Chains A and B, each alone.
Chain A
Amino acid sequence: MSTKTNKSTFMDRFPESAAITRQAFLVAFVALGLGALFGIIQALHRTNVLRVFPSGDYYTLLTAHGVLLAIVFTIFFLVGLFQWAITRSLDRPPVNITFTKTWLGLMSLGSATAGIVILLGFIKEIGISADVLFTFYAPLQAHPLFYAGLTVFIVGTWLAGVDWFRSWLRWRKDNPDERIPLQAFMVLTTMIMWYIATIGVAIAVLFFLLPWSLGLIETVNPLLTRTLFWFFGHPVVYFWLLPAYLLWYTVMPKIAGGRLFSDPLARVVFILFVLLSTPVGIHHQYVDPGIAEGFKFIAMVNTMFLLLPSLLTAFTVVASIEHGARQRGGSGYLGWLKALPWRDPAFTGMALAGLMFAAGGFSGMVNAGMNINYLVHNTLWVPGHFHLTVGTAVTLTMMAGTYWLWPQITNKSIWSRPIALAQVVMWFGGMALMSNAMHVAGLYGVPRRTAEPQYQSFNFESIFGTVGELRIQIAIGGTLLFLSSVLFLSNLALSWGTPKQSGLGQTLPDPLSGPDDSPRVLDNMKLWAGLALLLVVLAYALPLGAIVADSGLLGPGGDAYPALVDGIRTVTAVFGDTVAGLAGVLP
Chain B
Amino acid sequence: MHIHRYEKLWLGLSLLLIVGFIATITYGAVGAGVTMVDNGETLNPNDLGDHPKFGDPGVEQVGPNEYDVYVVAQQFVFRPGTTIAGQPPITVPANSTVNFYITSADVIHGFSVVGTNANTMAIPGEVAEVTVEVGGPQEYGIVCHEYCGQGHHNMEGLMQVVPEDEYNGSEQ
Chain A positions within 8 Å of B, measured between CB atoms, are 55-56, 58-59, 62, 131, 133, 137, 139-140, 221-223, 226, 261-262, 264-265, 285-293, 296-297, 300-301, 304-305, 307-308, 311-312, 315-316, 319, 365, 369-371, 374-375, 377-379, 444-445, 447-453, 455-461, 513, 517-519, 546, 550-551, 555-559, 561, 563-565, 569-570, 572-574, 576-577, 579-584, 586-587
Contacts and interface: CB of A to CB of B under 8 A. Distances in A.
Interface in B82-107: 82-87, 102, 105-107
Interface of B: 1-4, 6-7, 10-11, 14-15, 17-18, 21-22, 24-25, 28-29, 34-40, 42-49, 74-77, 79, 82-87, 102, 105-108, 110, 112, 114-115, 117, 119-121, 123-129, 139-141, 143-158
A293 B39 CA distance: 7
Nearest to A557: B44
Contact of A449 (B22, B145, B158): B145
A287 B117 contact: no
B83 A288 contact: no
Nearest to B46: A557
A289 B120 contact: yes
Find the residue from A221, A222, A305, A448 having the highest chain B CB count within 10 A.
Answer: A222
Given A289-B123, A447-B112, A519-B1, A455 B141 contact: yes
Given A139-B124, A140-B149, A296-B36, A550 B25 contact: no
Given A457-B141, A556-B125, A573 B1 contact: no
Contact of A288 (B11, B37, B124): B37
The 5 closest A-B pairs by CB, nearest first: A580-B86, A556-B125, A458-B141, A573-B76, A447-B145
16 contacts: A140-B148, A288-B123, A289-B102, A290-B39, A293-B36, A305-B18, A307-B17, A378-B145, A379-B112, A555-B124, A556-B124, A558-B124, A573-B77, A574-B151, A586-B74, A586-B77
Contacts, number: 277
Find the residue from A374, A518, A570 having the highest chain B CB count within 10 A.
Answer: A374
A365 B121 contact: no
A458 B76 contact: no
B114 A133 contact: no
A223 B18 contact: no
Contact of B21 (A265, A304, A582): A304
Given A307-B18, A451-B153, A222 B39 contact: no
